[in-house]
Amino acid sequence: MRPNPLPKASMSSWPSRDWYHVRFLLRVCISEMFAVSALIFTHMHYDATLPYNLPKAIPCSIAFGWAIWIFGPISGPQLSPIVTVSLLVTRRITIFHLLASMIGQFLGVLFGFLLALGLAANTHPLLHTSTFGMSTVNHVTTIQAVGLEFVASTWLIWVILATLDEFRAVPWSQGHVSMFYSVFLLTRLWLEAVLGTYTGCSLNPFRSLIPAIFHRKFETLWVYIVGPSAAAILAPLVYETVLSDGASTWRFRAWFTRVDFDRYLDYKRDNAKDNATSSSERFIQPEG
């Protein structure tokens, strides 16, 4: 008789100390690296100043959709550490998968930046400047820039959490893979169009960090770390406690206190059922 196969590796379960789970962690890391490098290359290499070229928001949004379609079954893909942190906060991934994903994302930004720098045409308007690939604040104050990055990051995270919400009605959850491709692409297009002129719509601390290190320009780097990072913590808290249909005080308590927290269990209904059972038993009189 053949032995039972190992439980299928997933980002929501703790990995075992065997090659099967190590290999899965490596696949997650490599998946994020390839996905992010393609995205960063597109964002930094594309020259929107050429005649007849589309606004940068369009090809960058298409690159997001492309990455989701190819690497979605492996790592999501998450594409940004703020998404990875929000998935950890909502207990959808473990700390090991967070580390694997973030290492891949960091390497992806690094490779994407170097690839764009090495393959950029000599006519690229930023190639011979100290701002190639940089996230820069334009026409707004740094405080406003932090607010823009925070708000946009929050909206982006909410799109992802809404897609993953276990308590959404069937019409909103069926076919979510194909729906998410379209909704996420349009959301990214929207945010790129609104923020692009003012902050570059980074929404990714690594995307701003690597060029800043290369050019040794750190004056506004904190904007792109503080804004998105704050959203990565606060956006999931608001969604899970207010926007999700499964939100309840019992679920919130289990979320932060129970090791066996189950994202698919409706704690609100389960607790009400337990209370009803207890009330019924209280009024049952023993015979004899």
Specify whether the CB–CB gap between 83 and 158 falls below 8 A: no
The answer to the question of residue 3 being in a domain is no
Specify whether the CB–CB gap between 111 and 33 falls below 8 A: yes
Q: Which residues contact 248 (CB under 8 A, 6 or more apart)?
A: 267, 268, 271
Q: Residues 40, 162, 73, CA angle at the centre, nearest 5°?
A: 55
In this prediction, residues 200-226 reach a mean pLDDT of: 92
| Number of domains forming the structure of the chain | 1
The answer to the question of residue 283 being in a domain is no
Count of CA atoms in the C-beta half-sphere (13 A) of 229: 10
The answer to the question of residue 270 being in a domain is no
The answer to the question of residue 277 being in a domain is no
Q: Is the pLDDT of residue 192 over 90?
A: no
pLDDT over 70 percentage in the chain: 86
Which pLDDT score is estimated for 110?
A: 96
The answer to the question of residue 117 being in a domain is yes
pTM for the whole thing? Answer: 0.86
Tell me the per-residue pLDDT of 13-37, one tens digit each, with 9 for 90 and over. Answer: 888 888 888 999 999 999 999 999 9
At 275, which helix (H) or strand (E)? helix 267-283
Tell me the per-residue pLDDT of 50-74, one tens digit each, with 9 for 90 and over. Answer: 766 777 778 887 888 888 889 988 9
In this prediction, residues 237-245 reach a mean pLDDT of: 91
The answer to the question of residue 132 being in a domain is yes
Alpha-carbon span 274 to 251, nearest angstrom: 14
The answer to the question of residue 272 being in a domain is no
The answer to the question of residue 279 being in a domain is no
Classify 141 in phi/psi space as left (phi over 0), alpha (psi -120 to 50) or beta.
beta
Location of structure tokens 């990995």: 15
In this prediction, residues 76-80 reach a mean pLDDT of: 87
Q: Is the pLDDT of residue 283 over 50?
A: no
Tell me the per-residue pLDDT of 156-174, one tens digit each, with 9 for 90 and over. Answer: 999 989 888 888 877 776 6
Alpha-carbon span 272 to 281, nearest angstrom: 14
Parent domain of 108: 19-258
What CATH number is given to the structural domain containing 147? 1.20.1080.10
Which pLDDT score is estimated for 108?
A: 96
Which pLDDT score is estimated for 38?
A: 94
Q: Which residues contact 279 (CB under 8 A, 6 or more apart)?
A: none
Burial class (CB in 10 A: 0-12, 13-18, 19+), 147: middle
